[in-house]
């Protein structure tokens, strides 16, 4: 039974039982907690949580999924694959355990003639959560004897996503593959012989925290009891196709065959090579599906996962003896297998092929350069009789040659060695700190961390700025051009370290303080404050006079600017609390920035805010400001702060003792080291400027506060007054009047566009006279400045028709600042092998850009309008060369 047929049978079965067929969502589903869709239920998560009403009571899907946590196990077992397809039937407050179990039993054991899977009932085993007697009774009711029902703990029979969200007890279905695959005794004895094919999850709880598979907190019971099931399509296929593992099913095995053909080796002859073949087959398919859904190789997040998969393919093929490029040999095999179920692969293929080819070229250069260094490190380790490669060597491979650490560890393992990962991580951390110092260096070159570490050895620099804005202290050290010096001369810009400081260093989204540091015979203008290494506050200053180390100084923060920062920072906390109150607890912080008069706040959300909701958030924020809440801060143990519900920045590392800032008790509690106003009324007001998306699952709000907010409101009032005077309407009539004007303008624009199109078509007869015969083909290449978009395509198609039925090619260059090119070929020209998609590439390259399209019509463009003659000549040359 083919994999595609199994998919169809599953969907048809549940559609017959009143389930709505829901197409697979993209692997890049907008969920800020996930890199990729990793389970069939992910697209339905809002319905399970009750965040959105389900548009149907029952659903069925075949969902694309990617999981990479067990990437090292790929190829070694029958159970691990990075890309897989999850069949699922779902109930949203409709049927529950009995319905799910009855449907599953019927589909698994029903006859193939009736559209089911036809498994022998005697080979079916199931599991249930320990103590779930209801589930056990229901399985016995459909016909499974008690001895083939095993109870297991939370680790095996409670399902959740690994992150806060829906969860519940589950019941798994296994098929006994027979004594040839392992010991008897059910899933508890051997999960290779007893292969899990389906998991029935009884969604009934929402988890607020997930620490491990069997360690989580339940926030509440879900609004309704739901069914979420996941059947592994590949696992069912390997059983129905009677093959040894999921890598040998019909949608995967041809890639192994192609890899064997390229390598000259035979699958099945060598265990180690077989693992490599399976890695290739799995990762090729996964990479194809990820790239089809828009992922490109990179060094961050999703892009890094894809890059790792592609590079493991290349590396595995090299270990199989193939040093030539392989991705464009292997990916088309998987494309032809998967396009049956996912036709969009064909449309994405040009982009996929281009990205894969570029990545392989890049990695081949990396391998060629880095392997020499790696081999040398291995030789050194063996000559010294050690089994660990130095972390410094691993870091150099990463820093100089782009070797990911996991690749180095994998290559080392193949040589029987380990890598000093702790040293590697320490060097990576230092590099990130240097990069951070570079980015924060506003003028001149960034000082080296070595100089800062030298100054840090004298002790931590206490921050006194929570209570004092004017501090008498002394200069501990001076850093100029990366070197510790004993003095700075007039006019220099240097970094200085004080014994203690009132200046706030940029962190936690709050901008650095500004101010003045004065001493005997000198004055220092503070233009930036940073923490290049933990515990050290560094002030970037402009020197007036001569500054010696050890000098006594008076450090004074700009009080007006500091108060502005305090207003903005406290407003950030207020907006965060308002979002959580009005949008929900999922609106957690993803970043922030505040400075005098301005704040922005990034938060997790899969949906934008409506105009009404934005108004409510602005109103709730100003209400909190007017309520004059006291803003308090206290230091406490991290676990105590979390127990109180203090919000922490996701991914941020916190010390054992933290500072918790509180507004109105539990309404706003956050871990924060920033400075704040004493009461919210000091903020004055908040004007919410905008809300927008800044990435997958992350939104951003921006606002003005205090005097800046008032100025913005005043400016908007003045604008309304000007418009009402100009349009001679009352303020409440302004929107309607503007809408009418916009409608009139659009109508006029449409009329102008129609007239322009008619004018263009009228000129076609004159343009056709410029056609010439090149290489046996009628060629018309014309530059039409100012004509773009649909008008350009309309004109090129009309000209193609006017050139008659003989071989003809038309190329037009239009646009203005950024030129647009369109190429069209007729049927006779295509019969000679002339393709518009190829010709547009030549024209676009001459224009400094790219293009693409179909054989009959293609479009591109570039950046250099002066190159239009060269673009047209490039097409002409291509025609001439065939003559």
Give the Cα separation of 43 and 26 in Å (integer). 9
Residue at 840 is within a domain: yes
Sequence-separated (6 or more) residues with CB below 8 Å from residue 582: 613, 616, 617, 620
566 annotated as ligand-binding: no
194 and 125 co-located in one domain: yes
Per-residue model confidence as pLDDT tens digits over 269-328 = 999 999 999 999 999 999 999 999 888 887 677 888 898 899 899 989 988 999 899 999
The better pLDDT of the pair 400, 76 is held by 76
DSSP strand E in 74-181: where?
Answer: 83-92, 124-129, 149-152, 158-160, 165-176
What is the DSSP secondary structure assignment for residue 605, as one 8-state letter? -
Sequence-separated (6 or more) residues with CB below 8 Å from residue 151: 127, 128, 129, 130, 131, 132, 136, 157
- The whole-number pLDDT of residue 30 equals 66
464 and 540 co-located in one domain: yes
Range of the domain at 33: 3-248
- The whole-number pLDDT of residue 584 equals 81
Question: H/E element holding 428?
Answer: helix 421-440
- The whole-number pLDDT of residue 445 equals 37
Residue at 167 is within a domain: yes
472 and 328 co-located in one domain: no
134 pLDDT above the threshold of 50: yes
364 and 314 co-located in one domain: yes
Categorize the per-residue pLDDT at 78 as very low, low, confident or very high, splitting at 50, 70 and 90: low
Residue at 837 is within a domain: yes
51 and 107 co-located in one domain: yes
632 and 501 co-located in one domain: no
672 annotated as ligand-binding: yes
Categorize the per-residue pLDDT at 515 as very low, low, confident or very high, splitting at 50, 70 and 90: very high
What is the DSSP secondary structure assignment for residue 79, as one 8-state letter? S
Partnered with residue 173 across adjacent β-strands are 126, 198
33 and 83 co-located in one domain: yes
Categorize the per-residue pLDDT at 435 as very low, low, confident or very high, splitting at 50, 70 and 90: low
CB 175 within 8 A of CB 231: no
- The whole-number pLDDT of residue 52 equals 67
757 pLDDT above the threshold of 50: yes
CATH number at residue 62: 3.30.930.10
CB 236 within 8 A of CB 117: yes
Residues of the chain above pLDDT 90, percent: 61
Categorize the per-residue pLDDT at 787 as very low, low, confident or very high, splitting at 50, 70 and 90: confident
Final residue of a structural domain among 323, 347, 369 = 369
795 and 864 co-located in one domain: yes
Final residue of a structural domain among 667, 695, 713 = 713
- The whole-number pLDDT of residue 432 equals 66
Q: For 241, phi and psi rounded to 5 degrees?
A: -95, 0
Residue at 748 is within a domain: no
Final residue of a structural domain among 540, 557, 574 = 557
443 pLDDT above the threshold of 50: no
Upper half-sphere CA count for residue 749 (Cβ side, 13 Å): 6
95 and 226 co-located in one domain: yes
13 and 135 co-located in one domain: yes
Residue at 479 is within a domain: yes
CATH number at residue 511: 2.40.30.130
200 and 304 co-located in one domain: no
Residues of the chain above pLDDT 70, percent: 94
139 and 45 co-located in one domain: yes
Residue at 281 is within a domain: yes
Per-residue model confidence as pLDDT tens digits over 237-278 = 999 999 988 999 999 999 999 999 999 999 999 999 999 999
80 annotated as ligand-binding: no
Other CB atoms within a 10 A radius of the CB of residue 346 amount to 12
Categorize the per-residue pLDDT at 405 as very low, low, confident or very high, splitting at 50, 70 and 90: confident
Give the Cα separation of 843 and 835 in Å (integer). 13
CB 396 within 8 A of CB 370: no
Query: Is residue 798 classed as helix, strand or coil in its secondary structure?
Result: helix
CATH number at residue 611: 3.30.980.10
Give the Cα separation of 403 and 272 in Å (integer). 23
Categorize the per-residue pLDDT at 400 as very low, low, confident or very high, splitting at 50, 70 and 90: low
- The whole-number pLDDT of residue 127 equals 97
CB 108 within 8 A of CB 119: yes
pTM over 0.85: no
Residue at 722 is within a domain: no
Query: Is residue 373 classed as helix, strand or coil in its secondary structure?
Result: helix
Query: Is residue 227 classed as helix, strand or coil in its secondary structure?
Result: strand
Residue at 402 is within a domain: no
- The whole-number pLDDT of residue 293 equals 87
- The whole-number pLDDT of residue 606 equals 63
676 annotated as ligand-binding: yes
Total domain count for the chain?
5
């Amino acid at each position: 039974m083919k994999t595609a047929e199994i998919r169809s049978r599953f969907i048809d079965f549940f559609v017959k039982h009143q389930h709505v067929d829901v197409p697979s969502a993209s692997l890049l589903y907008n969920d800020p907690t996930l890199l990729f869709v990793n389970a069939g239920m992910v697209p339905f998560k809002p319905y399970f949580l009750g965040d959105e009403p389900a548009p149907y009571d029952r659903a069925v899907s075949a969902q694309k999924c990617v999981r990479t946590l067990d990437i090292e196990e790929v190829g070694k077992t029958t159970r691990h694959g990075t890309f897989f397809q999850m069949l699922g039937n779902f109930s949203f407050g409709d049927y529950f355990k009995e319905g799910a179990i009855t449907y599953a039993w019927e589909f698994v054991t029903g006859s193939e003639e009736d559209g089911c899977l036809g498994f022998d009932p005697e080979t079916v085993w199931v599991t249930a959560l320990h103590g779930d007697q209801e589930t056990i009774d229901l399985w016995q009711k459909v016909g499974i004897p008690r001895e083939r029902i095993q109870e297991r703990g939370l680790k095996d029979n409670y399902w959740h996503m690994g992150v806060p969200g829906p969860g519940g007890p589950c019941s798994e279905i296994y098929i006994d593959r027979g004594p040839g695959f392992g010991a008897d005794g059910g899933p508890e004895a051997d999960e290779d012989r007893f292969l899990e094919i389906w998991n029935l999850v009884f969604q009934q709880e929402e988890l607020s925290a997930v620490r491990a598979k069997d360690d989580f907190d339940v926030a509440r019971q879900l609004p309704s009891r739901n069914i979420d099931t996941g059947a592994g399509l590949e696992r069912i296929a390997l059983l129905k196709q009677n093959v040894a593992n999921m890598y040998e099913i019909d949608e995967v095995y041809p890639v192994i065959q192609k890899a064997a053909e390229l390598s000259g080796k035979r699958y099945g002859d060598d265990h180690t090579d077989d693992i490599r073949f399976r890695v290739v087959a799995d990762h090729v398919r996964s990479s194809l599906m990820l790239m089809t859904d828009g992922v490109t190789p990179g060094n961050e997040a999703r892009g890094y996962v894809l890059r790792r998969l592609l590079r493991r393919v290349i590396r595995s093929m090299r270990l199989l003896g193939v040093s030539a490029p392989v991705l464009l040999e292997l990916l088309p095999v998987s494309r032809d297998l998967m396009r049956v179920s996912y036709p969009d692969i064909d449309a994405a293929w040009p982009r996929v092929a281009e990205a894969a080819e570029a990545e392989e070229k890049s990695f081949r250069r990396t391998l060629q350069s880095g392997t020499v260094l790696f081999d040398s490190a291995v030789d050194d380790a063996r000559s010294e009789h050690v089994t660990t490669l130095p972390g410094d060597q691993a870091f150099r491979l990463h820093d100089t040659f782009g070797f990911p650490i996991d690749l180095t560890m994998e290559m080392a393992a193949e040589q029987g060695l380990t890598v000093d990962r702790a040293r590697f991580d320490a060097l990576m951390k230092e590099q990130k700190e240097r990069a951070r110092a570079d980015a924060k260096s506003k003028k001149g070159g960034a000082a080296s961390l070595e100089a800062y570490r030298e100054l840090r050895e004298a002790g931590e620099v206490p921050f006194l700025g929570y209570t004092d804005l004017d501090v008498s202290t002394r200069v501990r050290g001076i850093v100029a051009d990366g070197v510790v010096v004993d003095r700075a001369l007039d006019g220099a810009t240097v970094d200085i370290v004080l014994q203690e400081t009132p200046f706030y260093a940029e962190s936690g989204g709050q901008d650095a303080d500004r101010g003045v540091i004065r001493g005997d015979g000198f004055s220092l203008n503070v233009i930036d404050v940073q923490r290049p290494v933990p515990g050290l506050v560094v002030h970037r200053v402009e020197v007036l006079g001569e500054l010696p180390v050890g000098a006594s100084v008076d450090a004074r923060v700009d009080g007006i600017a500091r108060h502005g920062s305090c207003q903005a920072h406290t407003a950030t906390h207020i907006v965060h609390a308002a979002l959580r109150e009005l949008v929900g607890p999922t609106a957690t912080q993803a970043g922030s920035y505040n400075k005098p008069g301005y704040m922005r706040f990034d938060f997790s959300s899969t949906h934008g805010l409506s105009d009404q909701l934005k108004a409510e958030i602005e109103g709730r924020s100003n209400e909190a400001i007017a309520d004059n809440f006291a803003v308090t801060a206290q230091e406490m143990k991290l676990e105590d702060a979390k127990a109180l519900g203090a919000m922490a920045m996701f991914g941020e590392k916190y010390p054992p003792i933290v500072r918790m800032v509180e507004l109105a008790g539990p309404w706003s509690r956050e871990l924060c080291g920033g400075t704040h106003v004493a009461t919210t009324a000091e903020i004055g007001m908040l004007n919410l400027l905008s809300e927008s998306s800044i990435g997958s699952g992350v939104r951003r709000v921006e606002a003005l506060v205090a005097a800046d907010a008032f100025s913005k409101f005043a400016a908007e009032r003045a604008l309304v007054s000007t418009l009402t005077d100009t349009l001679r309407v009352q303020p409440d009539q302004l929107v309607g009047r503007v809408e009418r004007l916009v409608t009139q303008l659009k109508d006029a624009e449409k009329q102008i566009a129609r007239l322009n199109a008619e004018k263009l078509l009228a000129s076609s007869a004159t343009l056709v006279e410029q056609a010439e015969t090149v290489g046996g083909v009628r060629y018309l290449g014309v530059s039409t400045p100012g004509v773009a978009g649909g008008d350009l395509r309309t004109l090129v198609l009309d000209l193609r028709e006017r050139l008659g039925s003989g071989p003809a090619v038309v190329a037009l260059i239009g646009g203005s600042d950024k030129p647009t090119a369109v190429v069209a070929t007729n049927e006779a020209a295509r019969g000679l092998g002339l393709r518009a998609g190829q010709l547009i590439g030549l024209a676009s390259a001459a224009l400094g850009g790219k293009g693409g399209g179909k054989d009959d019509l293609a479009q591109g463009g570039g950046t250099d309008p002066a190159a239009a003659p060269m673009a047209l000549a490039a097409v002409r040359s291509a025609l001439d060369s065939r003559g």
